[in-house]
Amino acid sequence: MDLLLDVGNTRLKWGLHDGQGWRGQGAVLLSALDGFADVLAGLGPVDRMLGANVAGATVGGRLGAFLERAGLTAEWIRPLDEGYGVCNAYLDPSRLGADRWAALVGARALHGGAALVVTSGTATTADVLDGQGVFQGGVILPGLDLMRLSLARDTAQLPFSDGRFERTPRRTADAIQTGCLHAQLGAIERMFRLVAAEPGSLCLLNGGAAAALAPLLECPLREVDNLVLEGLARMRQAG
């Protein structure tokens, strides 16, 4: 049994995979990271661990200590120039985020054609994967909630409050929510144009804001629970 970890900016997402499928998944807020020790204690036998960590060395060190106490060695991935069906065309492949690399590998394993690989979390990333499995590049922008938070933090009269998407908003909260959604949707749809002409191209969407974005996106779409975990599972299966 493999324990796979996606350590993001806000949450740690974990999954148990037996080589055939998922046997459990969950998440822990980084602000309550000590709770992961309790998760580990309740998982049962685990043979190996593999993870992608973009939360920094301090968080990685704390997780390493938890894992060591559970009899596991922390193994964190690094982006490759090429591997698992994906060619990394980043100008400096080593500078690509480990989470983006794992998501690309997961996308290639789930969909053999061209894809725009979108993760909508604290930040939103939209990465172009062509039909030959070449990662051509991508964009990073503030995520939906971070956009809303920045308006509340850096303006005097715009609140951080829940609004609704409206065609023509007539409340401030709705105007903020709709504007931030349009920014996300516009970036994703513009990036999708780069693969739209390729046969069978899809937007593969995952992340915490996926449920808010999916009904509004005007491009071929497949929602995936967690592309990073899917990519880690593919790497582990490949040995």
Q: Are 169 and 182 in contact (CB under 8 A)?
A: no
The answer for residues whose C-beta is within 8 angstroms of residue 160's C-beta and 6 or more apart is 148, 149, 151, 152, 153
**Residue in 99, 130, 154, 174 annotated catalytic:** 99
What is the C-alpha separation between 9 and 208, in angstroms, rounded? Answer: 12
β-bridge mates for residue 13, sequence order: 6, 27
Exposure string (b/e) for 141-153, b if CB count within 10 Å is 16 or more? ebbbbbbbeeeee
Distances (CA, A) of 97 to 36, 55, 92: 23, 11, 11
What is the C-alpha separation between 32 and 230, in angstroms, rounded? Answer: 24
Known catalytic residue: 225?
no
Report the amino acid identity of residue 229: L
Catalytic residue ranges: 99
